[in-house]
Amino acid sequence: MRRTGAALAALVLAGAGLGAAATAANAAPAATPYTTACPTGWGSGDKGGATSGAVPLANVRTGRHDCFDRMVFDVPGGDSVGYSVRYVDRLAQIATGDRIPVGGGAVLDVRVGAPGYDPETGSPTYPGQVGRTLPGVDVSGYRTFRDTRFAGSFEGETQIGLGVRARLPFRVFRLSGQVVVDVAHTWTGSR
């Protein structure tokens, strides 16, 4: 009998404590922890399909976000630009098959259906040089991106090697006149 009474008293006291905690929680909201969840479920499998196009590439730029690093291909007027993005063991140039070294723990072969030249005149629209880092793009200090390499433009498509820290989940999508590649910082969905 004594054990049952002690257990009942402990439950009553615990319940009173929970009520006080609930009242305190209603009075002042708790701070949001830094580990707020990030989107997950992107996976690391191949994304995209056909990539040949006639609208020229104007620019490639990158940005840092809380949950991912981003690469944006600007293709003004190219609202339905094709793309193909996949992890590769090594980057091989589409025109020649030559290997292009890309730094990082893993390499994404990014192909966008927009040539780096005007198809009518042959004049360059994007100043990339094969085997070199992307002009105007500096990924030092990024959590995921490690290196970028221009692999060239050939038959209506531009190829970029994107070196990342490790094989991480990524997504690819189109916006008006843009192709966007996001690579997550982690697999777990935490910052």
CATH number at residue 91: 2.60.40.3500
User: Where does the chain show beta strands of DSSP type E?
Assistant: 47-48, 59-64, 68-74, 83-88, 91-92, 99-100, 106-112, 145-154, 157-164, 170-175, 178-184
78 is a domain residue: yes
| Helix (H) / strand (E) containing 10 | helix 2-27
For 38-81, write each residue's pLDDT tens digit: 877 899 999 998 777 789 999 999 999 999 999 999 999 888 89
pLDDT at 36: 60
Provide the pLDDT confidence category of residue 191 given band limits of 50, 70 and 90. low
139 is a domain residue: yes
25 is a domain residue: no
For 98-133, write each residue's pLDDT tens digit: 999 999 999 999 999 999 999 899 999 999 999 999
Provide the pLDDT confidence category of residue 21 given band limits of 50, 70 and 90. very low
Has residue 144 got a pLDDT over 60? Answer: yes
pLDDT at 184: 96
Residue 183 one-letter amino acid: V
Burial 5-16 (b: 16+ CB within 10 A, else e): eeeeeeeeeeee
Q: Which residue has 């990082």 as its token pair?
A: 104
Please give the tally of structural domains in the chain.
1
89 is a domain residue: yes
106 is a domain residue: yes
Residue-number span of the structural domain to which 172 is assigned: 47-184
Q: What percent of the chain has pLDDT over 90?
A: 68
Q: To the nearest whole number, what is the mean pLDDT of the chain? A: 84
135 is a domain residue: yes
| Helix (H) / strand (E) containing 9 | helix 2-27
